[in-house]
């Protein structure tokens, strides 16, 4: 039972890290796109929302891993 919590948390953490890498890629793509400052700012604001979601997902996964290890 607790193995599922640990592996599920590891999976969530991995998804969060992939999301963070996607944020880096999207921000880099926006910066090198040659758009106006306002357009870049609008894109980066959307990236910030995705970044916070990916960070929260990763944190929840790490919490699940720690909880599973402590209870096993």
63-72 residue pLDDT tens: 999 999 999 8
**57 and 15 Cβ atoms separated by less than 8 Å:** yes
pLDDT tens digits, one per residue of 9-22: 999 999 999 999 99
**Residue 46: is its pLDDT beyond 90?**
yes
Extract the tokens encoding 63.
């919490």
**What is the arithmetic mean of pLDDT over 46-58?**
96
Integer Cα distance of 54 and 72 in angstroms = 27
Kindly report the backbone phi and psi dihedral angles of residue 44, in degrees, each rounded to the nearest multiple of 5, phi listed first. -70, -30
**Residue 1: is its pLDDT beyond 90?**
no
Q: What's the distance, CA 38 to chain centroid?
A: 25
């Amino acid at each position: 039972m607790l193995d599922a919590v640990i592996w599920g948390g590891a999976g969530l953490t991995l998804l969060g890290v992939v999301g963070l890498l996607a944020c880096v890629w999207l921000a880099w793509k926006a910066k090198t796109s040659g758009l106006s400052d306002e357009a870049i700012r609008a894109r980066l604001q959307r990236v910030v929302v995705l970044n916070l979601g990916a960070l929260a997902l990763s944190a929840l996964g790490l919490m699940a891993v720690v909880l599973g290890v402590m209870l096993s």
